[in-house]
């Protein structure tokens, strides 16, 4: 398990007794709100600052396939709102919310419907990567849909997993220049047998994955708030001849709707807005993960429990809000 400080561990240990109002106070910075109009309001603000968005309807690992209908319908509402308000945004979905863990075949069919409808709007769909139980199935959804001609879909790959470098190479072989990954450290605390567990090792592995994905010709969403990873990525972009306005690598497809020149930097809502604005000022495309929904409480508690280091950001925002402008 990743190391967390005593304050973070203490905060996580109290999650079961935290009053709901306090959790809402914590979450209001990191969650747009309970309703779609809250997400639209936040996306408009971000767009005014030169950032684009990826929208996530909170909720995952449903108990019955009938529940997947809610997520399909809600994402249809999201797409309609994005079009109506002319927002620079795409979609992030949890595959388990569409039934992938309950029934891989029906889960794939539900995701296929959404990706197909998103394609009609020129909109990209990102499959969030959940824990190791669905890693293979999530990647298989991407390759299956690409084989069917739906190339407006990609997944998240976690730097902490030992397998990720191989996954990047395998996806490059299958998808070629249409490979599209979000590379992040990963929030799920996996066992040492399949993942790096020390902070320094996770950081170095994530840097290696970003470099590898860029070298393989993928479009890369560099999803991090870590200065070391960002600086390493910027340096590597320069090394391989990519500028903030042009992708000079051979055999790249034309820039797709809502995409940058082969890469973008991605951040969570409410975290390190100062850094995001600085990257934007330097000419980099930036995207913010905008979650919303009635499951804001469960989402907030889960993030604290699954990765105690997240609590450090909460403590910092509470005690020193000027250091972490949204």
Q: Among candidates 295, 296, 314, 294, which has minimal Cα distance to 304?
A: 314
* Residues 21 and 313: beta-carbon distance below 8 Å: no
- Distance between first and last Cα of the chain: 28
Secondary structure (3-state) at 186: coil
Half-sphere exposure of 252 (CA within 13 A, CB side): 22
Burial of 215-242, coded b for 16+ CB within 10 Å and e otherwise, reads ebbbbbbbbbbbeebbebbbebbeeeeb
Residue 56 annotated to the active site: no
For residue 153, which phi and psi values (nearest 5 degrees)?
A: -145, 140
Q: Among candidates 203, 192, 259, 252, which has minimal Cα distance to 231?
A: 203
* CA dist 175 → 169, 219, 252 (Å): 10, 11, 12
How far is residue 226's CA from residue 242's CA, in Å, rounded to a whole number? 21
* Residues 71 and 57: beta-carbon distance below 8 Å: yes
Q: Which of 128, 167, 180, 226 is catalytic?
A: 128
How far is residue 235's CA from residue 7's CA, in Å, rounded to a whole number? 34
Residue 182 annotated to the active site: yes
Q: Which of 56, 160, 167, 182 is catalytic?
A: 182
Half-sphere exposure of 92 (CA within 13 A, CB side): 25
Helical pair 227-239 and 273-281, crossing angle rounded to 10 deg: 20
Query: How far is Cα of residue 304 from the mean position of the Cα atoms in its chain?
Result: 17
Residues with a catalytic annotation lie at 128, 182
């Amino acid at each position: 398990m990743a190391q967390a400080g005593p304050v973070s561990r203490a905060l996580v240990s109290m999650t079961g007794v935290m009053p709901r109002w306090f959790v809402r106070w914590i979450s209001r910075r990191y969650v747009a709100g309970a309703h779609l109009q809250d997400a639209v309001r936040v996306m408009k603000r971000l767009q005014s600052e030169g950032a684009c968005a990826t929208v996530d309807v909170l909720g995952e690992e449903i108990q019955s396939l009938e529940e997947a209908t809610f997520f399909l319908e809600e994402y249809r509402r999201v797409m309609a709102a994005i079009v109506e308000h002319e927002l620079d945004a795409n979609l992030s979905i949890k595959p388990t919310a569409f039934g992938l863990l309950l029934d891989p075949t029906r889960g794939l069919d539900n995701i296929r419907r959404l990706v197909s409808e998103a394609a009609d709007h020129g909109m990209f769909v990102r499959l969030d990567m959940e824990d190791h139980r669905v890693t293979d199935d999530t990647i298989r959804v991407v390759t299956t849909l690409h084989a069917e001609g739906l190339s407006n879909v990609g997944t998240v790959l976690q730097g902490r997993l030992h397998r990720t470098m191989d996954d990047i190479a395998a996806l490059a072989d299958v998808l070629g220049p249409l490979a599209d990954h979000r590379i992040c450290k990963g929030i799920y605390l996996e066992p040492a047998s399949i993942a790096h567990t020390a902070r320094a090792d996770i950081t170095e592995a994530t840097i290696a994955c970003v470099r590898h994905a860029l070298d393989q010709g993928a479009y890369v969403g560099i999803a991090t708030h870590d200065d070391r990873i960002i600086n390493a990525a910027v340096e590597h972009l320069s090394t391989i001849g990519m500028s903030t306005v042009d992708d000079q690598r051979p055999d790249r497809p034309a820039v797709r709707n809502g995409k940058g020149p082969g890469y973008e930097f991605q951040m969570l809502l409410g975290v390190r807005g100062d850094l995001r604005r600085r990257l934007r000022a330097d000419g980099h495309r930036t995207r913010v993960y905008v979650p919303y929904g009635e499951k804001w409480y469960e989402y907030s508690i889960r993030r604290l429990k699954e990765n105690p280091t997240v609590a450090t950001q909460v403590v910092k925002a509470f005690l020193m809000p000027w250091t972490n402008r949204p």
